[in-house]
């Protein structure tokens, strides 16, 4: 009808609302997506009838998406699922309040889902919810925001394969950090991205060029931690979609080139009390840091070597964690110092927070947030005192062995598997499943012969 006021997608809160918006808009097929262990969005179009049925009673999604890697290759040692279980359907519930516009598709909307029952134990969104339930029982609420650096290339999925991922063309040359020149020349793309993120309720607080050819940094607005993870996951997915629709490609690898610094995915976290007041802010303490904030940092620092695989989750992650490239190499912390793994940011009641700087752009936001928040809660529960804060350049200092981080994904996965704290925080099933998936990832890497090996050994050895 002319002038009819249809329901806004972000006003959908209930099953009834979800049905109403589909009926009002005359939508025949609804897009439904779910994020897997690697943070990759898997999904499908659902007919209206099937979608309504799924809203009422859930639907089955082949659990192979929890039993394969980012290249759709089946894990060889998973116990949750595999050939021994014959890859049955796992129950999934649709999250009505996740409804979003799909501006790039005519008269279309998106809903997120999450696994239920046994599958929930290894579901990335499920593990974060369990951590946040723990916070709630402690009388605390976590808010968070992610910021991502990503390189953009004047390439297509076909051209990068034809070039064997070598000699790729960035959208702009040179370094040009915070460049008004670059963001003005490509202002149409910047505004397309800003508008897309606003329309899909994952608003960007700041967007600028970083140091490197064709690299951007986007800081997402803060929200409650579960919503922040949804938004971060959707941001990575739809930024790549927007670029490819333009004939470009964006990468969120931790490090795509040895010539440039890695790509960060820093996480900002704060805790509030039940009454809404900051649990981190105390004007009677040094740097306004409450005891709760200090113990939160203490837990993050103490457990970082044990849970690093949940944050540095790819083989490539460890190419970034080297001295002098704006990435930390030990479980260190500081006050407003960007050379450490954790950065306490003093401020007012609303801005006091911790920046979890160990994270790169390749994170699965659900799992990385679960690790960052869960380890901090463990610190509060056990009143863990952090070391003295680092002053000056952390790269030039020596630190005790207990603060050293694993050097490979395989080592990190082994540390995670043995961590009693991780099992308590995230569940034994998740820890075992995720650890085996990371060990698989490194074993797959070891099968590869890299160009470095060919260039170094082919002739001379």
DSSP string, 402-413: GGBPPSSHHHHH
pLDDT in tens, 402-426: 999 999 999 999 999 999 999 999 9
CB-based burial label for 427 (10 Å; 0-12, 13-18, 19+): middle
Instruction: Kindly state the average pLDDT of the residues 249-277.
Output: 96
> Could you give phi then psi for residue 394, rounded to 5 degrees?
-65, -25
pLDDT in tens, 318-332: 999 987 676 788 999
**What's CA 145's distance to the chain center, in Å?**
10
pLDDT in tens, 334-392: 999 999 999 999 999 999 999 999 999 999 999 999 999 999 999 999 999 999 999 99
pLDDT in tens, 154-174: 999 999 999 999 999 999 999
Q: What is the CA radius of gyration of the chain?
A: 22
Residue-range domain boundaries for the chain: 9-119, 131-456
pLDDT given for residue 212 in this prediction: 95
- Exposure class string for 135-163: b at 16+ Cβ within 10 A, else e: beebebbbbbbbbbbbbbbbbeeeebeee
174 dihedral zone (left: phi>0; alpha: psi -120 to 50; beta): left
Does residue 151 carry a pLDDT above 80?
A: yes
- Beta 342-345 vs 41-47: how paired, if at all? unpaired
- CB of 279 closer than 8 Å to CB of 349: no
pLDDT in tens, 172-216: 999 999 999 999 999 999 999 999 999 999 999 999 999 999 999
> Could you give phi then psi for residue 77, rounded to 5 degrees?
-140, 20
pLDDT given for residue 261 in this prediction: 87
pLDDT in tens, 57-86: 999 999 999 999 999 999 999 999 999 999
pLDDT given for residue 328 in this prediction: 85
Q: Does domain 131-456 have CATH number 3.50.50.60?
A: no
pLDDT given for residue 322 in this prediction: 82
- CB of 280 closer than 8 Å to CB of 349: no
Q: How many CB atoms lie within 10 A of CB 99?
A: 24
Provide the CATH number for the domain formed by 9-119 in this structure.
Answer: 3.10.20.70
Residue 144: enclosing H or E segment and its boundaries? Answer: strand 140-153
The model's pTM: 0.97
- CB of 40 closer than 8 Å to CB of 70: yes
């Amino acid at each position: 009808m002319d002038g009819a006021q249809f329901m806004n997608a972000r006003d959908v809160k209930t099953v009834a609302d979800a049905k109403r918006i589909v009926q009002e808009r005359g939508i025949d097929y609804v897009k439904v997506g779910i994020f897997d262990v690697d943070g990759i969005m898997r999904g499908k179009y659902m007919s209206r009838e099937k979608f309504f049925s799924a809203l009422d009673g859930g639907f089955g999604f082949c659990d192979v998406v929890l039993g394969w890697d980012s290249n759709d290759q089946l894990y060889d040692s998973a116990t949750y699922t595999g050939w021994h279980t014959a890859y049955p359907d796992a129950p999934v519930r649709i999250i009505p309040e996740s409804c979003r516009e799909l501006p790039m598709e005519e008269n279309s909307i998106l809903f997120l889902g999450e696994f239920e029952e046994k599958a929930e134990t290894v579901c990335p969104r499920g593990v974060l919810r369990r951590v946040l339930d723990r916070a709630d029982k402690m009388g605390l609420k976590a808010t968070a925001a992610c910021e991502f650096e990503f390189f953009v290339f004047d390439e297509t999925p076909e051209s990068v394969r034809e070039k064997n991922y070598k000699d790729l063309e960035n959208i702009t040359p040179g370094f040009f950090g915070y460049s008004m020149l670059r963001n003005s020349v490509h202002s149409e793309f910047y505004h397309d991205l800003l508008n897309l993120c606003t329309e899909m309720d994952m608003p960007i607080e700041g967007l600028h060029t970083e140091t490197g050819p064709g690299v951007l940094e986007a800081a997402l607005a803060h929200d409650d931690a579960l919503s922040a993870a949804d938004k971060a996951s959707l941001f990575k997915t739809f930024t790549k979609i927007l670029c490819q629709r333009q004939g470009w490609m964006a990468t969120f690898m931790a490090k795509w080139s040895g010539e440039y610094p890695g790509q960060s995915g820093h996480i900002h976290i704060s805790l509030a009390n039940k009454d809404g007041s900051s649990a981190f802010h105390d004007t009677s303490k040094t740097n306004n840091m409450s005891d709760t904030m200090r113990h939160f940092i203490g837990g993050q620092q103490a457990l970082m070597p044990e849970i690093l695989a949940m944050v540095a989750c790819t083989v490539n992650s460890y190419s970034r964690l080297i001295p002098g490239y704006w990435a930390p190499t030990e479980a260190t912390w500081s006050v407003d110092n960007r050379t450490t793994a954790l950065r306490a940011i003093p401020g007012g009641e609303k801005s006091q927070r911790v920046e979890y700087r160990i994270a790169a752009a390749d994170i699965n936001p659900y799992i990385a947030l679960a690790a960052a928040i869960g380890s901090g809660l463990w610190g509060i529960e056990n009143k863990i005192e952090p070391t003295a804060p680092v002053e000056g350049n952390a790269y030039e200092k020596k630190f005790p062995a207990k603060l050293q981080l694993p050097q490979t994904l395989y080592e990190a996965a082994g540390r995670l598997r043995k961590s009693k704290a991780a099992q308590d925080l995230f569940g034994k099933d998740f820890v075992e499943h995720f650890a085996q998936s990371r060990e698989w990832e490194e074993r797959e890497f070891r099968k590869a012969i890299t160009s470095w090996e060919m260039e170094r050994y082919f002739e001379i050895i």
